[in-house]
Amino acid sequence: MGLLDKVETKDEVVKKAKPVAKAAKAVKAAKAVPKKATPAAKKSKKESKPKVKKARPEGLSSEFEIASSLNRVISWWVNFTVNFSILIGALVMSVTTGGASGGFATTLLFAGAGLVFIFNGIVLPIWTGRNLGQYTSSTQYIRGDGSKPLFLHGLFVNNIGVSSLIGFIMVFTQAGKLGQGSTPIVMTSIGAILMILWIVNWQFSRNSDLRQGLFDLMFGAYLVRYVSEEGETSGFRARLESMSQFGEKYAQRVEDKKKAKIVTTEEKQDEENTESESED
């Protein structure tokens, strides 16, 4: 009887072990089957980060608005076109004719380019505190209390680009003559200083939240949107103020294109989300 009891117990152990093994295999098979991706796991559209407003400078009244990048671009291009278009034409004519013909016309163009540059870069900033680019873009430089900065600020800011160009020409023409006297050394040094000033001013403006360059920081000036008051100007200055219509119309077209592009992008994203939900 003892042997029969042992055999029976072994059979019972084997019978009990079979269901346990089957259950373990079923668990492994369930783990091996990949789960279907849920809609929440799908890639959602990127949420646009909210724009953080730039900190206003201390002491600047809330009635003034810091000029936007578009205003600065408009001002730069207008000034570049006014200051250098005639000069470039004179240089092209001088190169193509070779100086053999058209000498008087070329001289007149160079003289006209010089007069235009003096008017826009020196006379107008001293007289009105603004140049043609700032009139077109409806911008002006002011101090924290709303007053105009010293006229030297306008001279430095408006002419730093031309000064760096002159400095480059001086270095390019005089660097090869070093060792032939003191004049090439002085001219090369002055040219290098003018170029370095432009680079330093550009670095200050690039790394400043309010786009203040070296001379803006020195004179405590900010480039802001200009809003004219009724009856404030008349005559020639009123005609200069009317130039702002061109800049404002261009800026409005750019803003309308940006808004239309944003609306189109949002509509496409909504359609994609609708299609993905319908597929699920």
In terms of pLDDT, which residue wins out, 177 or 237?
177
At residue 50, does pLDDT exceed 80?
no
Q: How many residues does the chain have?
A: 280
Confirm whether 166 is domain-assigned: yes
At residue 93, does pLDDT exceed 60?
yes
Per residue in 181-211, pLDDT (tens digit) is 888 889 999 999 999 999 999 899 888 878 8
pLDDT of residue 190: 93
Confirm whether 237 is domain-assigned: no
- CA 135/CA 226 separation, integer angstroms: 9
Do 86 and 112 meet the contact criterion of CB atoms below 8 Å apart? yes
Confirm whether 175 is domain-assigned: yes
Structure pTM? 0.63
**Rg value, the chain, Cα:** 36
Confirm whether 53 is domain-assigned: no
Confirm whether 102 is domain-assigned: yes
At residue 258, does pLDDT exceed 90?
no
pLDDT tier, 237 (very low <50, low <70, confident <90, very high otherwise): low
Residue span of the structural domain in which 91 resides: 69-227
pLDDT of residue 25: 54
Confirm whether 40 is domain-assigned: no
In terms of pLDDT, which residue wins out, 178 or 52?
178
- Show the tokens assigned to 144: 């924290």
**Residue 256 vs residues 117, 251, 253, 260, 263: alpha-carbon distances, Å:** 34, 9, 5, 6, 11
C-alpha of 222 from chain center: 17
Confirm whether 22 is domain-assigned: no
pLDDT of residue 232: 56
Confirm whether 33 is domain-assigned: no
Number of domains present in the structure of the chain = 1
pLDDT of residue 263: 76
